Structure 1
Amino acid sequence: MYSPIPVLNELKDLYDSAGDFIADGFELHDYDDKDRFPKELDDPEFLSRVIPFAQANGSGSTYAIWRTGDETDLALSPVVVFGDEGGEQVVARDFRDFLRLLGYDGEVMVDHDSADYFREEDDDHSGSHEEFVKWLQDRGLTPAEDPDAIVAAAKEVHGERFRAWITPFYERIGWA
Protein backbone atom coordinates (compact mmCIF):
# COMPACT_ATOMS: atom_id res chain seq x y z
CA MET A 1 0.00 0.00 0.00
CA TYR A 2 1.40 3.36 -1.05
CA SER A 3 -0.53 5.52 1.44
CA PRO A 4 -3.43 5.42 3.92
CA ILE A 5 -5.55 7.37 1.38
CA PRO A 6 -7.50 5.01 -0.91
CA VAL A 7 -7.90 7.49 -3.79
CA LEU A 8 -4.18 8.34 -3.63
CA ASN A 9 -3.41 4.63 -3.88
CA GLU A 10 -5.66 4.45 -6.95
CA LEU A 11 -3.87 7.49 -8.40
CA LYS A 12 -0.54 5.76 -7.78
CA ASP A 13 -1.76 2.69 -9.66
CA LEU A 14 -2.78 4.87 -12.61
CA TYR A 15 0.47 6.83 -12.44
CA ASP A 16 2.53 3.63 -12.45
CA SER A 17 0.62 2.15 -15.40
CA ALA A 18 0.44 5.33 -17.51
CA GLY A 19 2.92 5.51 -20.32
CA ASP A 20 3.49 9.24 -19.87
CA PHE A 21 2.71 12.15 -17.56
CA ILE A 22 -0.89 12.41 -16.37
CA ALA A 23 -0.46 16.14 -15.67
CA ASP A 24 2.17 18.71 -16.54
CA GLY A 25 5.06 18.66 -14.07
CA PHE A 26 3.37 16.16 -11.73
CA GLU A 27 5.38 13.20 -10.48
CA LEU A 28 4.50 11.04 -7.51
CA HIS A 29 7.37 10.22 -5.20
CA ASP A 30 7.65 8.22 -2.01
CA TYR A 31 4.73 8.98 0.28
CA ASP A 32 5.72 11.11 3.28
CA ASP A 33 9.35 11.47 2.19
CA LYS A 34 10.42 14.27 4.54
CA ASP A 35 13.67 14.71 2.59
CA ARG A 36 11.60 16.72 0.10
CA PHE A 37 11.83 19.67 2.50
CA PRO A 38 14.94 21.77 3.06
CA LYS A 39 17.10 20.49 5.93
CA GLU A 40 16.36 23.66 7.92
CA LEU A 41 12.73 22.58 8.23
CA ASP A 42 13.51 19.69 10.53
CA ASP A 43 11.24 20.67 13.42
CA PRO A 44 9.33 17.50 14.43
CA GLU A 45 6.14 19.53 14.97
CA PHE A 46 6.34 20.87 11.42
CA LEU A 47 7.18 17.48 9.93
CA SER A 48 4.32 15.77 11.78
CA ARG A 49 1.75 18.00 10.09
CA VAL A 50 2.89 17.92 6.45
CA ILE A 51 2.97 14.82 4.27
CA PRO A 52 4.85 15.34 1.01
CA PHE A 53 3.75 13.05 -1.82
CA ALA A 54 4.54 14.54 -5.22
CA GLN A 55 6.63 16.86 -7.29
CA ALA A 56 4.43 19.73 -8.40
CA ASN A 57 6.32 21.12 -11.39
CA GLY A 58 9.38 20.62 -13.52
CA SER A 59 11.57 22.74 -11.26
CA GLY A 60 11.01 20.75 -8.07
CA SER A 61 8.16 22.30 -6.10
CA THR A 62 6.48 19.84 -3.72
CA TYR A 63 2.85 18.96 -3.04
CA ALA A 64 2.01 17.96 0.52
CA ILE A 65 -1.06 17.19 2.56
CA TRP A 66 -1.41 19.58 5.48
CA ARG A 67 -2.81 17.97 8.62
CA THR A 68 -4.83 20.77 10.18
CA GLY A 69 -5.63 18.65 13.24
CA ASP A 70 -6.15 15.01 14.08
CA GLU A 71 -8.00 14.10 10.90
CA THR A 72 -8.62 10.44 10.42
CA ASP A 73 -9.47 10.81 6.72
CA LEU A 74 -6.48 12.53 5.15
CA ALA A 75 -8.36 12.82 1.85
CA LEU A 76 -10.35 15.60 3.53
CA SER A 77 -7.20 17.57 4.45
CA PRO A 78 -6.01 20.54 2.42
CA VAL A 79 -3.23 20.15 -0.15
CA VAL A 80 -0.42 22.70 -0.09
CA VAL A 81 2.49 23.41 -2.42
CA PHE A 82 5.99 24.41 -1.37
CA GLY A 83 7.82 26.29 -4.11
CA ASP A 84 11.28 25.22 -5.13
CA GLU A 85 12.44 28.84 -4.87
CA GLY A 86 10.39 29.72 -1.81
CA GLY A 87 6.76 30.38 -1.23
CA GLU A 88 4.08 28.07 0.02
CA GLN A 89 0.37 28.13 -0.62
CA VAL A 90 -2.79 26.17 0.03
CA VAL A 91 -4.01 25.02 -3.40
CA ALA A 92 -6.91 22.65 -2.65
CA ARG A 93 -9.45 22.31 0.14
CA ASP A 94 -9.22 18.52 -0.07
CA PHE A 95 -7.91 15.74 -2.25
CA ARG A 96 -10.91 15.79 -4.62
CA ASP A 97 -10.22 19.46 -5.44
CA PHE A 98 -6.55 18.61 -5.86
CA LEU A 99 -7.35 15.89 -8.40
CA ARG A 100 -9.46 18.37 -10.35
CA LEU A 101 -6.48 20.76 -10.40
CA LEU A 102 -4.31 18.01 -11.85
CA GLY A 103 -6.96 17.48 -14.49
CA TYR A 104 -6.40 21.03 -15.71
CA ASP A 105 -2.98 19.78 -16.87
CA GLY A 106 -1.08 22.98 -16.20
CA GLU A 107 2.10 23.46 -14.25
CA VAL A 108 1.86 25.32 -10.94
CA MET A 109 3.91 28.46 -10.33
CA VAL A 110 4.22 29.30 -6.65
CA ASP A 111 5.71 32.22 -4.76
CA HIS A 112 5.12 33.92 -1.42
CA ASP A 113 1.92 35.61 -2.59
CA SER A 114 0.19 33.13 -4.86
CA ALA A 115 -0.02 29.79 -6.60
CA ASP A 116 -1.13 29.87 -10.21
CA TYR A 117 -1.77 27.10 -12.73
CA PHE A 118 -0.78 28.04 -16.23
CA ARG A 119 -1.17 26.54 -19.66
CA GLU A 120 -1.31 28.16 -23.08
CA GLU A 121 -4.42 27.46 -25.16
CA ASP A 122 -2.31 25.82 -27.83
CA ASP A 123 -0.26 23.69 -25.39
CA ASP A 124 -0.54 19.97 -26.00
CA HIS A 125 -1.90 17.95 -23.10
CA SER A 126 0.36 15.58 -21.22
CA GLY A 127 0.72 12.17 -22.86
CA SER A 128 -1.61 10.31 -20.48
CA HIS A 129 -4.00 13.21 -19.91
CA GLU A 130 -6.98 11.58 -21.61
CA GLU A 131 -6.51 8.44 -19.55
CA PHE A 132 -6.40 10.59 -16.41
CA VAL A 133 -9.57 12.49 -17.41
CA LYS A 134 -11.41 9.18 -17.81
CA TRP A 135 -10.06 8.07 -14.41
CA LEU A 136 -11.43 11.31 -12.89
CA GLN A 137 -14.81 10.82 -14.55
CA ASP A 138 -15.00 7.26 -13.20
CA ARG A 139 -14.79 8.88 -9.74
CA GLY A 140 -17.44 11.51 -10.45
CA LEU A 141 -14.91 14.31 -11.00
CA THR A 142 -14.17 16.64 -13.88
CA PRO A 143 -10.98 18.55 -14.63
CA ALA A 144 -10.93 22.10 -13.34
CA GLU A 145 -11.84 24.61 -16.01
CA ASP A 146 -10.79 27.47 -13.72
CA PRO A 147 -7.96 26.34 -11.43
CA ASP A 148 -7.71 29.83 -9.94
CA ALA A 149 -11.21 29.39 -8.48
CA ILE A 150 -10.18 26.16 -6.74
CA VAL A 151 -7.03 27.79 -5.34
CA ALA A 152 -9.03 30.86 -4.24
CA ALA A 153 -11.60 28.69 -2.45
CA ALA A 154 -8.83 26.79 -0.67
CA LYS A 155 -7.10 30.00 0.30
CA GLU A 156 -10.36 31.45 1.62
CA VAL A 157 -11.00 28.41 3.84
CA HIS A 158 -7.46 27.56 4.93
CA GLY A 159 -5.10 30.36 3.85
CA GLU A 160 -4.94 32.49 6.99
CA ARG A 161 -4.77 29.46 9.28
CA PHE A 162 -1.99 27.91 7.17
CA ARG A 163 -0.01 31.17 7.22
CA ALA A 164 -0.45 31.47 11.01
CA TRP A 165 0.66 27.86 11.47
CA ILE A 166 3.75 27.97 9.23
CA THR A 167 5.10 31.42 10.13
CA PRO A 168 6.58 30.46 13.53
CA PHE A 169 8.58 27.63 11.91
CA TYR A 170 9.98 30.05 9.33
CA GLU A 171 10.73 32.65 12.00
CA ARG A 172 12.75 30.08 14.02
CA ILE A 173 15.04 29.42 11.06
CA GLY A 174 15.23 33.05 9.92
CA TRP A 175 13.07 32.75 6.80
CA ALA A 176 10.34 35.18 7.87
Structure 2
Amino acid sequence: MYSPIPVLNELKDLYDSTRDYLADGFELYGYDDKTCFPGELTDPEFLSRLIPIAQANGTGSTYAIWRSSDEPDLTKLPIVVFGDEGGEYVIARDFRDFLRLLGYDVEITVDHDSAYYFRDEDHEHSGSHELFVEWLRRQGLAPAEDPDALIAAAQEIHGERFRAWITPFYEKLGWL
Protein backbone atom coordinates (compact mmCIF):
# COMPACT_ATOMS: atom_id res chain seq x y z
CA MET A 1 0.00 0.00 0.00
CA TYR A 2 1.37 3.39 -1.02
CA SER A 3 -0.35 5.45 1.68
CA PRO A 4 -3.09 5.27 4.32
CA ILE A 5 -5.26 7.47 2.04
CA PRO A 6 -7.44 5.39 -0.32
CA VAL A 7 -7.98 8.17 -2.88
CA LEU A 8 -4.23 8.90 -2.94
CA ASN A 9 -3.61 5.20 -3.55
CA GLU A 10 -6.03 5.34 -6.48
CA LEU A 11 -4.25 8.43 -7.79
CA LYS A 12 -0.92 6.61 -7.48
CA ASP A 13 -2.29 3.68 -9.49
CA LEU A 14 -3.45 6.07 -12.20
CA TYR A 15 -0.13 7.92 -12.09
CA ASP A 16 1.80 4.66 -12.45
CA SER A 17 -0.37 3.54 -15.37
CA THR A 18 0.81 6.30 -17.70
CA ARG A 19 4.11 7.72 -18.91
CA ASP A 20 2.68 11.22 -19.41
CA TYR A 21 1.92 13.86 -16.82
CA LEU A 22 -1.55 13.76 -15.30
CA ALA A 23 -1.12 17.47 -14.56
CA ASP A 24 1.63 19.84 -15.60
CA GLY A 25 4.60 19.63 -13.22
CA PHE A 26 2.92 17.12 -10.89
CA GLU A 27 5.04 14.14 -9.86
CA LEU A 28 4.20 11.94 -6.89
CA TYR A 29 6.92 11.40 -4.28
CA GLY A 30 7.28 8.40 -2.09
CA TYR A 31 4.54 8.94 0.49
CA ASP A 32 5.70 11.18 3.36
CA ASP A 33 9.24 11.53 1.96
CA LYS A 34 10.67 14.31 4.14
CA THR A 35 13.81 14.67 2.00
CA CYS A 36 11.99 17.19 -0.20
CA PHE A 37 12.36 19.86 2.49
CA PRO A 38 15.58 21.86 2.82
CA GLY A 39 18.13 20.10 5.01
CA GLU A 40 17.88 22.80 7.69
CA LEU A 41 14.22 21.98 8.38
CA THR A 42 14.85 19.06 10.71
CA ASP A 43 12.72 20.05 13.69
CA PRO A 44 10.67 16.93 14.58
CA GLU A 45 7.57 19.00 15.37
CA PHE A 46 7.75 20.67 11.95
CA LEU A 47 8.24 17.37 10.14
CA SER A 48 5.53 15.59 12.13
CA ARG A 49 2.87 18.02 10.92
CA LEU A 50 3.65 17.82 7.21
CA ILE A 51 3.19 14.90 4.84
CA PRO A 52 4.92 15.59 1.52
CA ILE A 53 3.07 14.00 -1.37
CA ALA A 54 4.27 15.44 -4.67
CA GLN A 55 6.47 17.73 -6.65
CA ALA A 56 4.40 20.74 -7.63
CA ASN A 57 6.34 22.09 -10.60
CA GLY A 58 9.40 21.53 -12.73
CA THR A 59 11.65 23.55 -10.43
CA GLY A 60 11.09 21.52 -7.26
CA SER A 61 8.25 23.08 -5.31
CA THR A 62 6.48 20.62 -3.01
CA TYR A 63 2.85 19.82 -2.18
CA ALA A 64 2.21 18.53 1.34
CA ILE A 65 -0.70 17.71 3.59
CA TRP A 66 -0.60 19.97 6.64
CA ARG A 67 -1.71 18.20 9.82
CA SER A 68 -3.42 21.33 11.07
CA SER A 69 -5.36 19.25 13.57
CA ASP A 70 -5.53 15.69 14.82
CA GLU A 71 -8.24 14.89 12.26
CA PRO A 72 -7.80 11.18 11.49
CA ASP A 73 -9.13 11.50 7.91
CA LEU A 74 -6.13 12.99 6.12
CA THR A 75 -8.27 13.95 3.11
CA LYS A 76 -10.02 16.55 5.26
CA LEU A 77 -6.79 18.40 6.04
CA PRO A 78 -5.44 21.38 4.06
CA ILE A 79 -2.83 21.10 1.32
CA VAL A 80 0.13 23.47 1.35
CA VAL A 81 2.82 24.25 -1.18
CA PHE A 82 6.45 25.07 -0.45
CA GLY A 83 8.17 27.01 -3.20
CA ASP A 84 11.62 25.87 -4.27
CA GLU A 85 12.89 29.44 -3.89
CA GLY A 86 10.78 30.40 -0.91
CA GLY A 87 7.16 31.06 -0.17
CA GLU A 88 4.72 28.67 1.42
CA TYR A 89 0.96 28.80 1.25
CA VAL A 90 -2.19 26.90 1.98
CA ILE A 91 -3.62 26.24 -1.47
CA ALA A 92 -6.50 23.83 -0.84
CA ARG A 93 -8.96 23.40 2.01
CA ASP A 94 -8.83 19.62 1.60
CA PHE A 95 -7.74 16.84 -0.72
CA ARG A 96 -10.79 17.18 -2.96
CA ASP A 97 -9.98 20.83 -3.69
CA PHE A 98 -6.36 19.84 -4.30
CA LEU A 99 -7.41 17.29 -6.91
CA ARG A 100 -9.55 19.93 -8.60
CA LEU A 101 -6.53 22.27 -8.72
CA LEU A 102 -4.48 19.54 -10.38
CA GLY A 103 -7.26 19.21 -12.93
CA TYR A 104 -6.57 22.79 -14.05
CA ASP A 105 -3.37 21.28 -15.52
CA VAL A 106 -0.89 24.10 -15.01
CA GLU A 107 2.26 24.24 -12.88
CA ILE A 108 1.83 26.29 -9.76
CA THR A 109 3.97 29.41 -9.38
CA VAL A 110 5.16 30.05 -5.85
CA ASP A 111 7.08 33.10 -4.67
CA HIS A 112 7.42 35.05 -1.44
CA ASP A 113 4.22 37.00 -2.10
CA SER A 114 1.82 34.49 -3.62
CA ALA A 115 1.00 31.10 -5.05
CA TYR A 116 -1.06 30.90 -8.21
CA TYR A 117 -1.85 28.97 -11.37
CA PHE A 118 -1.64 30.82 -14.69
CA ARG A 119 -2.67 29.36 -18.03
CA ASP A 120 -2.25 31.35 -21.23
CA GLU A 121 -4.45 31.00 -24.29
CA ASP A 122 -2.13 28.66 -26.19
CA HIS A 123 -1.58 26.26 -23.29
CA GLU A 124 -1.51 22.61 -24.29
CA HIS A 125 -2.78 20.09 -21.78
CA SER A 126 -0.53 17.40 -20.36
CA GLY A 127 -0.41 14.09 -22.19
CA SER A 128 -2.66 12.26 -19.71
CA HIS A 129 -4.91 15.20 -18.88
CA GLU A 130 -8.05 13.62 -20.33
CA LEU A 131 -7.38 10.38 -18.46
CA PHE A 132 -7.03 12.41 -15.24
CA VAL A 133 -10.24 14.37 -15.93
CA GLU A 134 -12.11 11.09 -16.43
CA TRP A 135 -10.71 9.84 -13.12
CA LEU A 136 -11.75 13.09 -11.41
CA ARG A 137 -15.30 12.66 -12.71
CA ARG A 138 -15.43 9.15 -11.26
CA GLN A 139 -14.48 10.76 -7.93
CA GLY A 140 -17.44 13.14 -8.30
CA LEU A 141 -15.14 16.08 -9.07
CA ALA A 142 -14.47 18.47 -11.93
CA PRO A 143 -11.29 20.39 -12.71
CA ALA A 144 -11.12 23.84 -11.15
CA GLU A 145 -12.30 26.58 -13.46
CA ASP A 146 -10.99 29.31 -11.16
CA PRO A 147 -7.99 28.05 -9.18
CA ASP A 148 -7.46 31.45 -7.60
CA ALA A 149 -10.88 31.17 -5.92
CA LEU A 150 -9.95 27.79 -4.40
CA ILE A 151 -6.64 29.17 -3.13
CA ALA A 152 -8.38 32.26 -1.72
CA ALA A 153 -10.93 30.08 0.10
CA ALA A 154 -8.14 27.94 1.58
CA GLN A 155 -6.20 31.03 2.63
CA GLU A 156 -9.31 32.53 4.22
CA ILE A 157 -9.83 29.46 6.39
CA HIS A 158 -6.27 28.31 7.10
CA GLY A 159 -3.81 30.98 5.94
CA GLU A 160 -3.27 32.94 9.15
CA ARG A 161 -3.10 29.80 11.28
CA PHE A 162 -0.56 28.22 8.91
CA ARG A 163 1.57 31.38 9.00
CA ALA A 164 1.42 31.43 12.81
CA TRP A 165 2.37 27.75 12.95
CA ILE A 166 5.32 27.93 10.56
CA THR A 167 6.83 31.25 11.72
CA PRO A 168 8.58 29.93 14.87
CA PHE A 169 10.36 27.23 12.85
CA TYR A 170 11.62 29.79 10.35
CA GLU A 171 12.61 32.22 13.11
CA LYS A 172 14.76 29.51 14.76
CA LEU A 173 16.63 29.17 11.47
CA GLY A 174 16.99 32.93 11.02
CA TRP A 175 14.88 32.87 7.87
CA LEU A 176 12.60 35.69 9.03
Structure 2-normalised TM-score?
0.99
Structure 1 residues 1-150: aligned runs within 5 Å:
1-150=1-150
Residue of structure 1 in register with 2:167 after alignment: 167
Could you tell me how far apart the structure 1 residues matched to 2:174 and 2:18 are? 42
Question: What is the SS of the residue equivalent to 2:24?
Answer: coil
What are structure 1's unaligned runs of at least 5 residues? none
The answer to whether the 8 A contact 1:100-1:144 is kept is: yes
Distance (whole Å) between structure 2 residues aligned to residue 113 and residue 77 of structure 1: 23
Deviations along 1:5-44, whole A, 9 cap, x unmatched? 1110000000000230000000001010111100111000
Identity %: 76
Partner SS, residue 134 of structure 1:
helix
Separation in structure 1 between the aligned mates of residue 90 and residue 149 of structure 2, nearest angstrom = 12
Q: Which amino acid aligns with 1:7?
A: V
In the alignment, the residues of structure 2 paired with residue 100 and residue 69 of structure 1 have an alpha-carbon distance, to the nearest angstrom, of: 23
Deviation at 1:113, TM superposition (A): 2.0
Displacement of 1:106 = 0.7
Q: Contact 1:89–1:112 (CA<8 Å) still a contact in 2?
A: no
- Supply the RMSD in Å over aligned alpha carbons: 0.6
Residues in 2 aligned to 1:121 and 1:15: alpha-carbon distance in whole angstroms: 26
CA–CA separation in structure 2 for the residues paired with 1:112 and 1:73:
30
Greater shift in the superposed pair: 108-117 or 82-91: 108-117
Deviates more, 1:104-113 or 1:8-17: 104-113
| Equivalences, count | 176
Task: After TM superposition, give the deviation of residue 112 of structure 1 in Å.
Answer: 2.1
For 2:169, the aligned partner's letter is F
Using the size of structure 1 for normalisation, the TM-score is: 0.99
Separation (CA, whole Å) in 1 of partners of 2:61 and 2:116: 13
Q: Give the superposition deviation at 1:119.
A: 1.5
1:23 and 1:84 map into 2 onto residues whose CA distance is 18
